[in-house]
Structure 1
């Protein structure tokens, strides 16, 4: 709760349009500026006056310049003392003026019987001010306001999360850009179906080459004879790599043969043998299914495995369109499913 002095100061500030202390500060600053100008005028007048007129007598053996310098030093020292004396006198007397003005002039009342009078003073611009009665707010409006406030809070949370995500992405991109990864921004598109599929395949291949180009541009890649795809020789590289690994594989097999002979051999109907057979069967069926061949449930389905995987209708249509594009018959025979 504000103190009575604070209430009085606020009331006077609203009435005068400035604080009472501001008025006193302006008066003191004006007086100090006038004193400063007066002291400067006095100093200029004394320095421009002849030293003999000021009472400095010239003695034998002392030049006129030395006599003028002595007079100037004495005048400057006297001016400093005069200014200090005036400032001390002004501060002392105007402090008294400030205290007296704030207590007795720029105040509402300083009499003990008038305590609390500032609470009953009404300024002119408050006289015809109507105070509207407080209208009640229905629950629906409060609920709508709370809903909007929650939406704003959630939006701010989402905004902060998005800004954090942007910062993380920028940091990741800054780490990836030195590797030379650049995506292909455009590719040729045509209206024909076959041409469009070829174009998309070529674009995807070019994008893969650009995405992993840094793997073939390092010194280590040169030492391992890993070059770009357009200059690569897969058969030669695979053969060299396989031959380089044969020695290590022979050594590893020689180390494993003694341990293999020492392992106990599972029986034909043992649990371990059945688990191993079931695992091999499961993995084999998965590998065959990945190649598009649906293995049967019986062991007599060897013919289905030998026939290869089923060819879908879409693949047949694609082959026909390729044949037509390469200059085949205008009406190719369709293959039966």
Structure 2
């Protein structure tokens, strides 16, 4: 259970949109930054000043000491740097202590007299955004665990929403990229324009939109393909082309066809197909034999084979004529006679 002071701080934080203590912290941090800057500049100024101007020459003279000299003959006071660092550090510590002491008083006084509410008033204060707000009755089912689960669900929903937005952006970019392949570029204004629309369309198809011919040519228009608007123009109304209409109608009839198929399946399983008689089987075999013979005959005739006597036992290739056979026989006989003469001469 929050105390009365905690409830008061919560109310002030909701009203001011920031914790009251954060205002005082910002003031103190700003003063500390100014003090650090002052100390750094003070140390830089003292270190860059000639030690003789800071009274070290008079101190050495009073103590009857001769200062050391460097290679260039300038007087050197070794203890000057060490005393400057120690003095600056003591000054910083003194100033920080004074600031902490006084600003602690400022913080206490401000929280008690300025950033506070009078006693017994916090319970009766109602902020502007709570006006006309109906507070529901306490529900015992709502527990811290359920609120935490709802909070996590809200966070996951926001993440999903952001992911969907990013996916939608990527999809839009991809669609624009694909449309650039199908959309021919719009006419470019210039002093001279071509009077041939076909030439301009061909130039756009072959250049920036290589696939524009799929939807912007006369052949595509004859098939009913809907053409996309050119770049730089917007279509006021979307008209359905015949191809789109037929496709939509066919897709809409698929569920009805499935229902018909489901109703026909029981009848197919219970109904027997008519069987052929024995004579019908012989007729089917004869028809098959005639078909095979006719097709074989046509193929052989294409290759130059004479099929007058039928196609059974025919050797594939051109037919040998009688004159060719007689010529081959005479040639073989002549070769045989020549071989016999050679054998007689050798003997």
> With structure 2 as the length reference, what TM-score do the two structures score?
0.36
Larger radius of gyration: 2
> With structure 1 as the length reference, what TM-score do the two structures score?
0.37
